[in-house]
Amino acid sequence: MTTANQHLDIDSRYPLTEEQIRFFREKGYIKLKNVLSPEVLEYYGKEITTQVLTLNEQDRPMSQRTTYEQAFIQITNLWQKSELIKEFVMGERLASIAAELMGVKGVRLYHDQALYKEPGGGLTPWHADQYYWPLASEKTCTVWIPLQETSLEMGPLSFAEKSQNFAFGRDLKISDESQARIQKALSEQGFKHVVEPFDLGEVSYHYGWTFHTAGPNTGTDLRKIMTMIYIDMHMRLKEPSNENQKIDWQVFCPGVNVGEIIGSPLNPILYSE
């Protein structure tokens, strides 16, 4: 895929350094500056926001929502709803970074999801994403793409550094329980909590097992985030270990059998060497 306007570049390679790759593999996450131009974020972000607001069915007051519902408006697989968003999700620039960071020959899409935190939106409890995914290896990561400059008051994503190999809490879904128990365990083990704002054009990547959280949105603006989850292009489906993984299997990997490579029409290869 090529885009005539160089300011809408979503396919060229981002020059990662060996130090950055080592950082990601050791720390379990990395933040990278100037990955996407302001023009890219404005052009595609406008359509992402339109679709999120159109598809959002959450209309209850914040006080009547669960902890999970207070954390964000969540819309998945927007690439199936809009050709313009599909173009963005299929871009090779972000996908090639994921492959290089994880040290794999190529990556597939597991799914995309928009995570919009409304003004007054609550804390996103501590959790590890891979609790939800029936994936056979750790070769998976999420790119977190703020569609605006994201201050601390907006509730940016934050990480427990080096927690990708920490076994405690891997059986906990996002909830008040996960917040209390995982926060206590991470603190007792001395994991560094990295909380920083995001510049415009800055994105982060984190492993599926890296523990992370996000603060409440105490500002007045919508915190607009787009994410893509990348998996090793040779990733196989494992036997689900909880009900959420069973749901993910049917929704995001339809027709794939346990032990097979996750190669359904919903899981296209986005980048390969």
| Residue 270 included in any domain | no
Residue 178 has phi, psi (to 5 degrees) of: -60, -40
Specify if 143 maps to a domain.
Answer: yes
Distance set, CA 248 to CA 175, 245, 253 (Å): 18, 5, 7
* Sign of the CA dihedral with 249 first, then 255, 256, and 262 last: negative
Q: Is residue 234 part of a domain?
A: yes
Provide the CATH number for the domain around residue 155.
2.60.120.620
Q: Hey, what are 185's tokens?
A: 């365990």
Containing domain of residue 144, as a range? 6-255
| 269 occurs within a structural domain | no
* Number of structural domains in the chain: 1
Round the average pLDDT of the chain to a whole number and report it. Answer: 96
Say if 1 falls within a structural domain.
no
263 assigned to some structural domain: no
Does residue 12 sit within a domain? yes
Name residue 250's amino acid.
Q
| H-run or E-run covering 158 | strand 157-160
Q: What is the pLDDT of residues 22-73, one digit of tens each?
A: 999 999 999 999 999 999 999 999 999 999 999 999 889 998 999 998 889 9
Return d(Cα 140, Cα 143) in angstroms, integer. 10
Q: pTM, whole model, 2 decimals?
A: 0.95
Q: Is residue 230 over pLDDT 90?
A: yes
Query: Is residue 273 a part of any domain in this protein?
Result: no
